[in-house]
Amino acid sequence: MKRFGPAHFECRLTPIGDPTMTVEWLHDGKPLAAANRLRMINEFGYCSLDYEVAYARDSGVITCRATNKFGVDQTSATLIVKDEKGLVEETQLPEGRVHRIDELERMAHEGGPYGVTAEEETEKQKPLIVLLPEPTRVLEGDIARFRCRVTGYPAPKVNWYLNGQLIRKSKRYRLRYDGIYYMEITEIKSYDAGEVKVVADNNLGSTEHISLMWWTLVLGSSAASQEKVYARPPPAIPPSALGDHHVFGCSDLQVSWFCNNRELKQSGVFQTSRSGETFQLDISSVLPAHSGEYSCEASNAVGMASSSASLHIDGRKVATLCSS
């Protein structure tokens, strides 16, 4: 038969309806691999094999083999497909080039070469985060946005984590890539506050970076009466343990923060910082258990001064700041 033409084989089997009987088609003694151009039928003792398109490589002995608990039987026929000279089916690319094309197609399918330029593509390197995601402070209900850029070859796999849990793309968690990796969290809630980690790895190594995310409470139930309460209190509120303290003194000044007379240490929840003569305490993942009296104590060789305020958080996520 001519190349690209259809081919049909059929046979009859008995006994009909034997539940133990299995039928298989072979090509030169080997089971035929499944393909869209092949169609096999085995119904009520009738078996057929159809090639919608036959190639020269399909030439050979076609066998139908039936097996049940009593034994095996088979029948065979020869298929000859004439090859048409001048039509080249195999690749003419140099050895190794096909693998490179497959690799480029894979990288294009997965979202680009992950920061690897044409000059760097043959140089293997472990992942490196060259644009770090930054800490962010988000109003409750708003969108938190993080981004990073990663280089490395082979192409690194990049994952985002929120408080140790892997982030998967969904309606609330948005992931995209355009040369830079983006991660967005919509409708921020109090339980979202904490650590946002990005991890990049390939077979040469792994790297990661952790950023902090704080949320901001909103007081009031109506849009007209809502007042934002930040980690830094508004000017109308006296300095409190949830905000800034301006402290004046000499260079050997020591500043400590306390909650209910217990000194606070740096952690994932409590973060202290200094900018010039301003000292700040930030509380992430605010919970009712964090209610209490907060105080800031500053001391040096000359003496000591302190300031305090009360923080109350109830189950409805309403914060009340009271100075003392």
Q: Which amino acid is at 320?
A: T
Q: Would you give the DSSP letter of residue 221?
A: S
- The 10s digit of each residue's pLDDT in 154-197 is 889 999 999 999 999 999 999 999 889 999 999 888 788 889 99
Structure confidence at residue 320 (pLDDT): 37
- The 10s digit of each residue's pLDDT in 85-138 is 655 666 666 766 666 777 777 666 555 554 554 444 458 899 999 999 999 888
Q: What is the distance between the alpha carbons of residues 314 and 180, in angstroms, rounded to a whole number?
A: 40
pLDDT at 61 > cutoff 90? yes
Structure confidence at residue 140 (pLDDT): 81
* Residue with the larger pLDDT of the pair 24 and 247: 24
The residue-averaged pLDDT of 140-145 equals 89
CATH for 7-79, options being 3.40.50.300, 3.90.1150.10, 3.40.640.10, 2.60.40.10: 2.60.40.10
Structure confidence at residue 214 (pLDDT): 76
Q: Would you give the DSSP letter of residue 120?
A: T
User: Quick check: 27 and 14 in contact, CB under 8 A?
Assistant: no
Structure confidence at residue 321 (pLDDT): 39
Nearest alpha carbon to residue 133 among 173, 205, 184, 190: 184
Distance from CA of residue 140 to its chain's centroid? 24
Burial of 60 (C-beta count, 10 Å sphere; 0-12/13-18/19+): middle
Structure confidence at residue 118 (pLDDT): 47
Q: What architecture (CATH level 2) is domain 230-323?
A: Sandwich (2.60)
Q: How does DSSP assign 120-158, residue by residue?
A: TTTS-EEEEEEEPPPPEEEETTS-EEEEEEEEEESPPEE
User: Quick check: 308 and 256 in contact, CB under 8 A?
Assistant: no
Q: Which tokens hold the place of 320?
A: 């009340």
Q: Which amino acid is at 12?
A: R
Q: φ and ψ at 147, to 5 degrees? A: -150, 155
Q: What is the distance between the alpha carbons of residues 102 and 52, in angstroms, rounded to a whole number?
A: 28
pLDDT at 198 > cutoff 70? yes
Structure confidence at residue 96 (pLDDT): 65
The rounded mean pLDDT for the chain is 77
Structure confidence at residue 109 (pLDDT): 57
pLDDT band at 141 (very low <50, low <70, confident <90, very high): confident
Lowest mean pLDDT among 24-33, 36-45, 58-67, 307-316: 307-316
Domain boundaries of the chain, sorted by first residue: 7-79, 107-216, 230-323
The label of the residue with tokens 């090639």 reads 51
Q: What architecture (CATH level 2) is domain 107-216?
A: Sandwich (2.60)
Strand-pairing partners, residue 206, are 201
Q: Which tokens hold the place of 45?
A: 């003792």
- The 10s digit of each residue's pLDDT in 222-259 is 333 333 333 333 333 333 334 444 444 444 678 888 88
pLDDT band at 220 (very low <50, low <70, confident <90, very high): very low
Structure confidence at residue 186 (pLDDT): 92
pLDDT at 16 > cutoff 60? yes
pLDDT band at 54 (very low <50, low <70, confident <90, very high): confident
**Is-same-fold flag (107-216; 230-323)?**
yes
Q: What is the share, in percent, of the chain residues with pLDDT greater than 70?
A: 73
pLDDT at 286 > cutoff 60? yes
Q: What is the distance between the alpha carbons of residues 279 and 86, in angstroms, rounded to a whole number?
A: 82
Q: Would you give the DSSP letter of residue 290?
A: G
Q: What is the distance between the alpha carbons of residues 305 and 303, in angstroms, rounded to a whole number?
A: 7
Q: Which tokens hold the place of 288?
A: 């009712």
Q: How does DSSP assign 92-118, residue by residue?
A: -SPTTHHHHHHHHHHHHHTTS-TT--T
pLDDT at 316 > cutoff 70? no
